[in-house]
Amino acid sequence: AKLATERREADHAHAARLWNAALAELGPGWTISGSVDQRYHGNLNIRREGVDATRLVSDLRDIAFSLGSACASGSGRPSHVLRAIGLSDREARASIRLGFGRYTGEEELVAAVRRIDAAARAQQGLAA
């Protein structure tokens, strides 16, 4: 708790830099779930129309990201949180979640996001 208190401002600034770096790499076609402003920027939930999120996770097993939201992990059901913010079942099932913070480096995040975007585009038959 002491470390969290001492590092609060630096951690939030770092998460904001990572958030901005991730968004800059995603490119067009991705939709952010939830508010862009009223949120903690260490959690990014996104979706892309026509992408099979389960296949995306399977294709990129060496990248730590997940389906939907933490509250629905492993259940096989669409997240009730994503449904509560207005997503359809299809949209909720197409969502992926990236979490990052104090120990996440910008270079590793950018590289991961590039690979996620390329794999999603490949699923859609688009040039990566």
Residues 6+ apart with CB under 8 A from 128: 117, 118, 121, 122
* Closest alpha carbon to 65 in 102, 103, 99: 99
Active site residues: 71
d(CA 18, CA 15): 5
Long-range contacts of 120-123 (CB under 8 A, 24+ apart): 120/29, 120/30, 120/48, 120/51, 120/56, 121/29, 123/50, 123/51, 123/52, 123/55, 123/56
d(CA 98, CA 59): 16
